[in-house]
Structure 1
């Protein structure tokens, strides 16, 4: 990771988000992962981001087809034991993918912490 603001973002998320499992920041146009980290050896956030990019693009296409004038803020996926958040950048250039253990995380708190710590990412990307 060459970017200090991405390193700081990752450290803030790991240290402050209860149940942190994995995080990635991915460019939407290219699919390139700018940041990727996992706390579990059997969980690959880059693979997850590849599929989540397709989910985000499909939802953006649906919004366009419906003629809606809205932008996606985030996409929430709840599993039995995990919560996955796909947080779309306001400018539409990238998304942040966050996975947390649902037995340790609170959805409201997780979203608030993600919003708090992503500010430097938004300023620098």
Structure 2
């Protein structure tokens, strides 16, 4: 059902559930022409979440547009279908925020923790852009939850839009 919804949203039947949506890499830094200053890297948009692989117990991660459910970037994943993860967790995050709003809690989600038998799943909406979130799956036996949360916060700080 969600795959059909995604196909309608992006207007294609060619959506391959096993393949992430590709976005162009950041252009190389440095001046293209000698004597002409280059753009500072801090000013360049980057959606790279490559640093997520440094989190102990890393399985896979993706950066997700919470409005559409589409994946903006991904790393790893293995047998975990990160396109499907993006779509399904978008509905989950929306439902949780709606519950918080209906309860009148007047708070924002900092992160959502889902603990399975062998995995930990963390979902972290970005502080600067709440409609985008980072999802990461970790091996429960080797992950350090406190460190993983800190690393995700640092990863978020390096994202530029």
TM-score when normalising by structure 2: 0.69
Tell me the equivalent position of 2:158. 120
Q: Unpaired segments of 5 or more residues in structure 1?
A: none
**Per residue, is there more helix in 1 or in 2?**
1
**Corresponding pairs, count:** 119
Higher normalized contact order (CA 8 Å, seq sep 6+, divided by chain length): 1
Q: Unpaired segments of 5 or more residues in structure 2?
A: 1-22, 27-45
**Per residue, is there more strand in 1 or in 2?**
1
Residue correspondence of structure 1 range 1-125 to structure 2 within 5 A = 1-4=23-26, 5-7=46-48, 9-10=49-50, 12-14=51-53, 16-40=54-78, 42-90=79-127, 91-121=129-159, 124-125=160-161
TM-score when normalising by structure 1: 0.87
Give the whole-Å Cα distance in 2 for the aligned partners of 1:30 and 1:45. 15
- Segments of 4+ in structure 1 off by > 3 A? none
How far is the alpha carbon of 1:6 from its aligned partner?
A: 2.6
